[in-house]
Amino acid sequence: MSNEICHPRYEEYGIIQWSNSRTIVVFSVLIINGSRLAKTRRKAEFILWLAQREQDVFGLGMVGFDLGDLPWSLDDFEKEKIFLLKVIESAKEELGCGVVKLGTHPEVLRGDLEDLRMLILNFTDEDLRTAYLLKEELKDIGGRGLPVEMPPQLEKCKIHRVLLTQYGCYVCNNLS
């Protein structure tokens, strides 16, 4: 089983497939670095959205997503995209920031992060608008993707300093 991260125009830009364990490692470094960089509630929402993809909750191979499923806003898309690209670059440079032992060769992990960076880099305003229209059409049948449940108070794990979701700390739950 694996998880797929898809660009809406996958014929042109492709699909990333990561094993369940690789997904945990990639998501962990993104959540660790993103939690450090998210200085506003809106930026934290992107990190929490990712941290909510708990395979123990939703099942192995069930936490992949289409880039259009991310909690983009139509008005601030470019700023949000820049933030996510910054999180990926930070993750590539600092990996787990020394917070966790990842068990994946750093160059392999940097390659995975670069693949994700390229998908997001090629995700356009037009792709977002198409995804938004699709989400609106699918609302009648239960929607697409998981909603972001923003906690009333943003809290961080005392051990890993990552934003906490309703499931707790993503790193504690998956790498401890």
- In the block, tokens 């890993």 appear at 160
Provide the Cα torsion 69, 143, 131, 170; round to 10°: 0
Average pLDDT, the chain: 86
**Per-residue pLDDT reduced to its tens digit, 101-138:** 667 778 889 999 999 999 999 999 999 988 877 665 54
Domain boundaries, the chain: 2-175
Confidence bin at 142 (pLDDT 50/70/90): very low
Instruction: Kindly report the pTM of this predicted structure.
Output: 0.87
Phi (first) and psi of residue 40, to 5 degrees: -125, 160
Paired with 18 in beta bridges are 3
Instruction: Tell me the one-letter amino acid at 60.
Output: L
The reported pLDDT for the residue numbered 99 is 52
**Per-residue pLDDT reduced to its tens digit, 17-52:** 999 999 999 999 999 999 999 999 999 999 999 999
Cα 119–121–124 angle (5° rounding)? Answer: 95
Q: What count of other Cβ atoms lies within 10 Å of the Cβ of residue 9?
A: 15
Contact 125, 73 (CB under 8 A): no
Confidence bin at 100 (pLDDT 50/70/90): low
Query: How many Å separate Cα 57 from the centre of its chain?
Result: 16
Which one, of 64, 117, 65, 108, lies nearest residue 86 by Cα?
117
Whether 89 shows a pLDDT value over 80: the answer reads: yes
| 20-37 and 41-51 helices, crossing angle to 10° | 170
